[in-house]
């Protein structure tokens, strides 16, 4: 599903999973799952992808069919898994593949007439400001590997270069773009955007590019941080090619931290704290504090004249403020932002004196925020689990109940210390006896 939203592909999946509350692992659906796999293998596929599921888990007869299709010209991507039998006959592409050059840790192989790529495991990305951008990088790498193994590399070449990859603010950042070869469709358009540490911007108007044409552009002034510059060429035939470049901006003027006092409050309380800065300030410098929601919409803002190393701030918390906000500080001068930093702030909501829709446990993993969003749409407003609530729960205004439970075992006789296991401390047994015996 995630790949189909980003690439023009037809995909079908079979899942290998562990049954809930057991140690048993199997292909989802058991025999029906294997029948589905066999039916899918009757079709011609350009590539096979193993995401965390080892090919050795596939039954011998079906695995042999997969290997034969790869040797005959298909592709295979192994992410986070290996297969000695498959790669034993593979020839590693020691010279590297230019189309895969930007994928860290990728290894390319020749498998008969087919191709293979081994990738690092799918990353576990915690919920934080900008987690979606990190996930986009992973999806771009995976999609690029699939396109190469499937033999679908674009015919036209997109050359996409920055003057360098590390910049010191306010050093100019220059970009050079060239298209080599013919276009498949008409009216090729250049689409450019910058993925920031959190969020993204598209500062350029609509651009067009011709074959063998070179464009030179300048990037806007950016605050210190790690960025990705993304580019794709789109024509009447669809996406002709794409590229991405990581780069970093540093600044002598830095935000060294945001201290919140406290990190949470109630409606009617305050969001308060202080921003610490380092480096030499400029004469026209100011600090802006933004209170943002999960979609980075500005809820409240305040600006302060800077010049020192500490800025204190305070905002009242009205009833409409969501449970999770980001306190984002930006130090800037007349040329734009110099540095930025953010912290999460929690606002308690107590769903009392009303009917609540409660669910046990909480989604986990990289895509848990999307699952949480779906739960919110169904009307769930309370979740029951142990520990502190993860930020993606508060981001969707879902209240949290700590689950404290015990298993009660019916007893035929009154509890006795005398027949208790010897490895249990006597003090604990006395407390248990008093509790169980009422």
CA 196 to chain centroid = 14
- 144 and 205 assigned to the same domain: no
262 prior amide bond cis, ω within 30: yes
pLDDT digits (tens, 9 = 90+) for 124-135: 999 999 999 999
Question: Tokens 């540093």 appear where?
Answer: 250
Q: For residue 434, tell me if it sits in a domain.
A: no
Using CB atoms within 10 A of its CB, is residue 369 exposed (0-12), middle (13-18) or buried (19+)? buried
- 41 and 106 assigned to the same domain: yes
Which domain, by its residues, includes 310? 254-348
pLDDT at 260 over 90: yes
For residue 413, the model assigns a pLDDT of 47
Closest Cα partner for 267 from 322, 320, 326, 317? 317
What is the chain's alpha carbon radius of gyration, rounded to the nearest angstrom? 28
Domain boundary among 88, 118, 149: 149
Percent of the chain with pLDDT over 70: 91
For residue 389, the model assigns a pLDDT of 87
For residue 417, the model assigns a pLDDT of 47
- 48 and 140 assigned to the same domain: yes
**Between the CA of residue 167 and those of 226, 334, 339, what are the distances in Å?**
10, 19, 13
pLDDT digits (tens, 9 = 90+) for 337-377: 999 999 999 999 888 888 989 998 999 999 999 999 999 99
Most confident of 206-215, 294-303, 379-388, 427-436: 294-303
- 134 and 106 assigned to the same domain: yes
For residue 228, the model assigns a pLDDT of 96
- 282 and 381 assigned to the same domain: no
Give the contacts of 6 (CB within 8 A, at least 6 positions apart).
139, 140, 143
pLDDT at 66 over 80: yes
Mean pLDDT is lowest, of 4-8, 63-67, 270-274, for: 4-8
| Pairwise CA distance, residues 39 & 37, whole Å | 5
167 prior amide bond cis, ω within 30: no
Closest Cα partner for 107 from 78, 65, 136, 128? 78
Give the contacts of 240 (CB within 8 A, at least 6 positions apart).
154, 156, 158, 183, 184, 185, 188, 232, 233, 234
Give the contacts of 62 (CB within 8 A, at least 6 positions apart).
34, 37, 38, 41
DSSP 98: G
In 10 A of CB 50, how many CB atoms?
22
Number of domains in the chain: 4
pLDDT at 438 over 80: no
pLDDT digits (tens, 9 = 90+) for 143-185: 999 999 999 999 999 999 999 999 998 899 999 999 999 999 9
pLDDT at 380 over 90: yes
| Side-chain half-sphere CA neighbours of 307 within 13 A | 4
Which of the four pLDDT bands, split at 50, 70 and 90, describes residue 415? Answer: very low
Whichever domain contains 172, its CATH number is: 2.60.40.2550
Closest Cα partner for 255 from 170, 197, 334, 342? 342
Q: For residue 322, tell me if it sits in a domain.
A: yes
Q: Can you give the pTM of this predicted structure?
A: 0.85
């Amino acid at each position: 599903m995630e790949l189909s939203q980003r690439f023009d592909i037809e995909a079908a999946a079979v899942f290998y999973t562990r049954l809930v509350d057991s140690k048993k692992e199997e292909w989802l659906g058991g025999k029906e799952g294997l029948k589905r796999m066999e039916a899918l293998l009757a079709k011609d596929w350009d590539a096979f992808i193993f995401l965390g599921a080892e090919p050795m888990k596939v039954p011998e007869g079906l695995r042999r069919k997969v290997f034969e299709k790869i040797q005959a010209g298909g592709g295979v991507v192994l992410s986070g898994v290996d297969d000695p039998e498959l790669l034993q006959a593979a020839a590693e592409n020691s010279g590297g593949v230019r189309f895969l050059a930007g994928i860290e840790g990728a290894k390319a192989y020749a498998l008969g007439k087919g191709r293979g790529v081994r990738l690092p495991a799918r990353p576990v990305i915690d919920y934080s400001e900008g987690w979606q951008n990190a996930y986009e990088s992973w999806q771009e790498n995976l999609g690029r590997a699939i396109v190469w193994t499937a033999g679908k590399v674009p015919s036209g070449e997109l050359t996409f270069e920055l003057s360098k990859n590390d910049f010191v603010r306010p050093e100019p950042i220059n970009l050079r773009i060239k298209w080599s070869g013919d276009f498949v469709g008409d009216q090729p358009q250049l689409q450019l955007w910058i993925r920031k540490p959190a969020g993204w911007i598209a500062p350029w108007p609509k651009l067009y590019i011709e074959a063998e044409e070179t464009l030179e552009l300048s990037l806007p002034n950016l605050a210190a941080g790690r960025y990705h510059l993304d580019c794709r060429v789109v024509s009447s035939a669809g996406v002709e090619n794409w590229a991405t470049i990581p780069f970093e901006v540093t600044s002598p003027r830095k935000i060294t931290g945001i201290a919140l006092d406290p990190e949470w409050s109630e409606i009617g309380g305050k969001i308060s704290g202080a921003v610490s800065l380092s480096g030499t300030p400029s004469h026209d410098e100011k600090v802006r504090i933004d209170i943002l929601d999960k979609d980075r919409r500005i809820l409240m803002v305040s600006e302060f004249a800077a010049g020192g190393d500490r800025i204190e701030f305070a905002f009242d918390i009205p009833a409409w403020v969501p449970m999770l906000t980001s306190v984002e500080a930006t130090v800037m001068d007349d040329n734009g932002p110099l540095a930025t930093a953010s912290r999460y702030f929690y606002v308690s909501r107590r769903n009392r004196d009303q009917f609540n829709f409660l669910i046990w446990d909480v989604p986990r993993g990289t895509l848990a925020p999307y699952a949480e969003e779906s739960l919110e749409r169904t009307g769930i407003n309370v979740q029951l689990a142990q520990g502190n609530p993860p930020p993606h729960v508060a981001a969707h205004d879902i209240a949290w109940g700590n689950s404290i439970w015990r298993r009660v075992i019916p007893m035929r006789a009154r509890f006795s210390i005398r027949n208790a296991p010897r490895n249990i401390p006597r003090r604990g047994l006395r407390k248990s006896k008093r509790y169980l015996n009422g």
